[in-house]
Amino acid sequence: MTAAAPEGFLRACALADLEEDVPKRVELDGVPVSVVRTEGEVFAINDICSHANVSLSEGEVEDCQIECWLHGSSFDLRTGKPSGPPAVRPVPVYPVKIEGDGEAAAVFVSVTQES
């Protein structure tokens, strides 16, 4: 059975679709979001770097950060803050909920509330 979406949240993907440290780009209500499973948690961060129009989901994940492949700024998956220049502005991060068990477990993201 498919898990129902919590109020205000949209289904991003099945939990089983997420490989550890491999970002997955989804679009929710027209918002590009990179969903990342790492260190036993799932995070959702806006997929566009705050420095230029580059997809963060094409970068690497390490130490709970996602790296922009173009100029190397990393963004904290918990806060969206950049580790250092050239990016100086944070990227929005969104609340995540996991609903359902086993194969039915799904990842839901609220793009209307920034966390």
- Interface residue list for ligand FES (CB under 6 A): 49, 51-52, 54, 68, 70-71, 73, 86-87
What's the min distance (Å) between Cβ of 100 and ligand FES? 34
Cβ closest to ligand FES, residue 38 vs residue 73: 73
What's the min distance (Å) between Cβ of 77 and ligand FES? 15
What's the min distance (Å) between Cβ of 70 and ligand FES? 4
Could you please report the per-residue DSSP string of the chain? -PPPPPTT-EEEEEGGGPPBT--EEEEETTEEEEEEEETTEEEEEESB-SSSS-BGGGS-EETTEEE-TTT--EEETTT--BSSTT--S---EE-EEEESSGGG-EEEE-SSS--
What's the min distance (Å) between Cβ of 1 and ligand FES? 40
Cβ closest to ligand FES, residue 70 vs residue 98: 70
Cβ closest to ligand FES, residue 78 vs residue 89: 89
Furthest CA-CA distance within the chain: 46
